[in-house]
Amino acid sequence: MYKPRVYVTRQIFPDALDLIENHAELELWPDEEPPSPEQLKAALAEVDGAIINVMDRIDHSVLDAAPNLKVISQVAVGLDNIDIQEATKRDILVGYTPGVLAKSTADLAFALLLAVARRVVESDKWVREGNWKISHHPMFWLGSEVNGSTLGILGLGGIGLETAKRGMGFDMKVIYHSRTRKPDMEKKHGFKYASLKRVLTESDFISIHVPLTSETHHFIGAKQLKMMKPSAILVNLARGAVVDTEALYEALLKGQIAGAGLDVFDPEPVPPEHPILGLDNVVVLPHIGSASNQSRREMHLLAARNLVAGLQGNRMEECANPTVYDSLGI
């Protein structure tokens, strides 16, 4: 019996690989460094399916180089690295992994928010550098109060919702701005919908959870940063390019806002000489929003199940372009 061929572009949990191997001939990219665009094209040249990562750019030219490709299964909720329109035109199913990572990513949003507000990383560094000479000083290391403050959520999808719920748990007033208003969530959890302007001007903490699209590229730029309170802290776990990095650096430098917690950056990885890394009021993490053992394993298993379903001509659990089902008659 014909076994479809599958390429997996990064190491994933072994049980996810086993699941794929039960149904397909599998090849795994051996290195930690991602394949270059040319290597990716060569890897996908003859396969029926692929499990890919957010750093693998699947554009027109990669799809041209992969004439047998029927299924792309992304290990992420964000899809900005894939030309979905082009995949859809070619009847290639695209799977992704929403839901299973929402809670862990929201946990990290709070870790970043608290770290910047209460100067956790900065003071830890100070201790390690041997500066803790006075046991306790009433005026040292003052930060921002989190409880009782206003949390503004931009984008109330799965991760935004979980972050908003955590804000309520911290006794914060939570306001949100999203493409779609969610009155049921407002009623259930007590958040309030607000205009973008209100979120920007009234929030003490702003947490970004919008996908990167042509409309949200530099969604937060110099103008938006100027509208924020000088005491505001910006948290980004969405995509680096949703924020204009240069404008953010200027705003932090000039004290237009008080701090930032960034799990994503534009570009990624952040160049070690980037001036933003010289600022004490910024915490930068290496894109680890969903990096708990549990969430990552769930993501890998879901991506594997999406892939196998697509290769077997079935509907996926999570499909980003379900209109392809119609053309495939499934």
Active site members: 239, 268, 287
Residue 194 beta carbon to ligand DGY: minimum distance, rounded to whole angstroms: 25
Q: Closer to ligand DGY at the Cβ: 78 or 221? A: 78
Residue 53 beta carbon to ligand DGY: minimum distance, rounded to whole angstroms: 8
State yes or no: residue 290 binds ligand DGY (CB under 6 A).
yes
Map residue 326 onto helix, strand or coil. helix
Question: What secondary structure, in 3-state letters, does 224-248 show?
Answer: HHHHCCCCCEEEECCCHHHECHHHH
Amino acid letter, residue 209: H
Q: Closer to ligand DGY at the Cβ: 200 or 264? A: 264
Out of 76, 154, 270, 308, the only residue in the binding site for ligand DGY (CB under 6 A) is 76
Residue 77 beta carbon to ligand DGY: minimum distance, rounded to whole angstroms: 4
Residues whose CB is less than 8 angstroms from the CB of residue 257 and which lie 6 or more positions away in sequence, other chains included: 225, 228, 229, 230, 231, 232, 233, 234, 251
The binding track of 238-277 with respect to ligand DGY, each residue x by CB under 6 A or -, is ----------------------------------------
Please report, as residue ranges, which positions from 54 to 73 form the binding site for ligand DGY (by CB under 6 A): 54
List C-alpha distances in Å: 261 to 121, 218, 303: 11, 17, 29
71-74 and 5-8: which strand pairing? unpaired
Q: Closer to ligand DGY at the Cβ: 69 or 101? A: 101
Q: How far apart are the first and last CA of the chain?
A: 22
State yes or no: residue 16 binds ligand DGY (CB under 6 A).
no
d(CA 115, CA 263): 12
The DSSP output letter for 277 is: G
Please report, as residue ranges, which positions from 89 to 128 form the binding site for ligand DGY (by CB under 6 A): 101
Q: Closer to ligand DGY at the Cβ: 79 or 146? A: 79
Residue 78 beta carbon to ligand DGY: minimum distance, rounded to whole angstroms: 3
Q: Using CA atoms in the order 276, 278, 279, 280, what is the torsion angle rounded to 10 degrees?
A: 140
Residue 100 beta carbon to ligand DGY: minimum distance, rounded to whole angstroms: 9
Q: Closer to ligand DGY at the Cβ: 77 or 153? A: 77
d(CA 102, CA 97): 10
State yes or no: residue 221 binds ligand DGY (CB under 6 A).
no
Q: Edge-to-edge strands of the sheet including 5-8?
A: 25-28, 5-8, 49-52, 71-74, 93-95
Q: Closer to ligand DGY at the Cβ: 63 or 101? A: 101
Among the listed ranges 74-82, 120-128, 241-249, 268-276, the one in contact with ligand DGY (CB under 6 A) is 74-82
Map residue 26 onto helix, strand or coil. strand
**Site for ligand DGY, rule CB under 6 A:** 54, 76-78, 101, 289-290
